[in-house]
Structure 1
Amino acid sequence: MTLQCTEAVNVLNTLVELIVGFHGWFNHLCFFKTPIVQQDRISQMFDGKNAHIQEHLNGTGNMVLPFRRKGSGSDDDDPLDQDIEDIMNEADGLGDEHELAQDAPTEAAPEEDDIDFSEKMAKSARTVIDVCMDLRRGENILIVCDPTTTEIGQALHDAASIRSDRVLLIVMPKGRHHGEEPPAPVANLMRQQQVVIAPTRYSLTHTRAVRQAIKDGSRVATMPGMTVEMFTEGGMTADFNIIKKNIGEMNAQLRRKRIVNVKSETGTNVTFEVNWREWKLDDNGICNRPRMVTNLPAGKIFTLPREGTMNGTIVIDGSWDSNLVDEPVMLQIENGLVVDVKGGTAAAQIRQTFGEAAKRLKSKDQENVWTIAEFGFGMNPNARLSGNVLEDEKRLGTAYFSIGDNTTLGGTAAVGIQISGVLKSPSVWLDETVLFENGSFIVR
């Protein structure tokens, strides 16, 4: 059949439209759609091929559409047929390309929160190693953690390894209570180090192992009850050099004052004696010399109440150990010992915990578990009252009392347990001087 040139072009245009329509129908059937950018590529491709076809037709007055035998691969195939075949192949190729692109696995980008968390962990670890402990190149450092603090231990290990190639990380079994001795192999290793850092669930501060390590020249930082959240927020973000300066300036206010009186609006009213020379001003986060010890996060001033001198009532209205109290806990004190505990579930917990500790002692020493072992107040402006006494007792404007072992501060109650309770907004007098009132400092 012979066709005029214009009629042939119309036929070819119709054929192109059918091809495009078939491709769109096929895409829909395969449950994907060709992206706009690929649709543009198809249009451009068809336009180019159509121009070539029209040029071919314009050069011929009339044409005969060839009959192509199935499987024919002769070299003299008409270029027009080849162009149409190219259109079909390229259109199918675009669909395959898009399908492959959809099926190709994509590498998940790290979540922004994960990056922020890792950076916070690394920053806090560097603060501990570089600022607090001032680790020197080549120093021996031991990091002691337990199964609850391995993530913190690993972050400290990574930071310490930048400064020293003598870093040892040990995961010991979780203890049962504060003041419990670590396993003997751990205690022996502690004595051989220049630096010891102990992020553990229960405190190692008041243990023979720490005392012996300090005696042998180690500098020690303990982190009882440390959590990942505490490690990256709150008190750990403070500038410990500024805290050290502020605590040092308090020395003049503490000198030659012997009588301490603590009161609060919730009912605290207790009086006791102290040796003014025994106020501890080194819990400032900077632990860079031999035989020093600190808690982290740091920032408190504390002392040993003179044994047998405390009388009155203490009302714990902030936190006890690792929990915010559900209702205030009243401790009745006579001659430096707790003789009665009242108030809420925390009171029942206190009676049970110290009762069990007393059973492990000789009968003549059992009442010593109720010794008021320590008094102190917080100096860290970034610390929060969150239900973990490690941070709560450092919060600026709080005060705390500890019950139990006081041998670390030079006392005689060697009972193997010490737990603290925090007062939220107390008032404190040293002799006739108001140190702070309702949680706000008066003297600076």
Structure 2
Amino acid sequence: MLDIIIYIISFISLFCLFTLFYLKRSVLVFIPVVLGVLYYFPAFFDVFYGNYIYSNHIVRDANLFALYVNFNLFFCAFFIYRFIKLNNNLISISGNDDNYKTIKIFFAIQLISLVFLVYGVYVATGGNILSYSWATKNELEGGNFAFLISSYLFIVSSGVVFLSWYLKYRKVFLLSVVLVVLYIIIIRSRGFIVPVLMIFGFYYLVWKRKVFSSILFGILFLFLFFALQQIRYLGELNNVSDIKFGVMVGNIIDKIMSEDSEFSLRNSFYYFIQNYNYLVERYSFGNFQTYRRIFFFFDVFNLGLKPNDFTNTMYRAYYGDSAVLANPTLHPTMYGNLYANGLYVSSLIFTLFFSFLIFIEKFIREKGGLIYWFIMPIFLYSCIFIARGSIYNAFLILIVNIFLVFFLVNIRRIRLF
């Protein structure tokens, strides 16, 4: 009974966090939404039916830690919102000539991102593009520079589909959809559909208050998310024609029900709780590596200031040191990442980082217009990454792309276009 009570209180704390951001029309609402799906949904079965790997007291400790994290975030956000004013009116944009030209610039960036991707695939496969698979990029010691440029350009231009739909620029919308489909088919990385599609969910949930429609959209998005995973499993691009819808649906259902899906991420969190003392000695858990990596993110020349990516360390700690991929990562949900970085002190440090996100969103909302709607897909993408447990990447992607958006929106003033 105690375990059930703790779980319910912990879930209520998450719901309070969701309600606060929902009322404030904040993009941060997606952090509790994703945590509800990735952690609290599978943890419900762990509490009421038991986890076949980990004992009840491990699950209880996990829910207590999640409650502590939610408590910190809620009161931090509540306190900040008491002192700042937010415009809760819909941030609208008009289809004027200047906005149309700006959207065309971002569409050009989207096209360039596809060009860099094709070039990266060409280099990775030695010219045999159809032999490219998802594993090919990961076998290149983190991938070549073309993949990196392509990914950032794609993310910064991910708002083109939504904005061209919203402003009824049909030609740009159709061409942008085609580019996105080609990009996803080639790269086979599910994360890239997040900023393109979930901005529609954000618009209808936060600004239009259509909760039921947003839930249906979320379910369809999850299905597509797992469907892209099945396409990735086909291997080389040559095999895409082998897709059979009935078989794919069956595989998706099997994947969701298995212990090797997005819903199993909480097991790595449980593992960290169970073996924390050993992991501190063997893998240097508890040294706040993620936060130090964020603080020294500018150390691009590896001067020794920025520690290694902690998601690599967590992967080795959970799966063992013999990794097949060159750059393996583990995302143990936000709770698991915070716990591994330094327990309860880690949560307090993250709360400071979280307050920084609130002020960034306030600044972007005050800018309004195209800047807001181009940055929101990126912000949303970062929020989902944070909830999944990829905190450093979320921070870096958000900061870099915010600067890129401001540059591209104002580039015509330099009279280059």
Greater helix content: 2
Q: Which has the higher strand share?
A: 1
What is the TM-score with the length of structure 2 in the denominator?
A: 0.20
Greater C-alpha radius of gyration: 1
Q: TM-score, normalised by structure 1?
A: 0.19
Q: Which protein, 1 or 2, shows the higher relative CO under an 8 Å CA cutoff with sep ≥ 6? A: 2
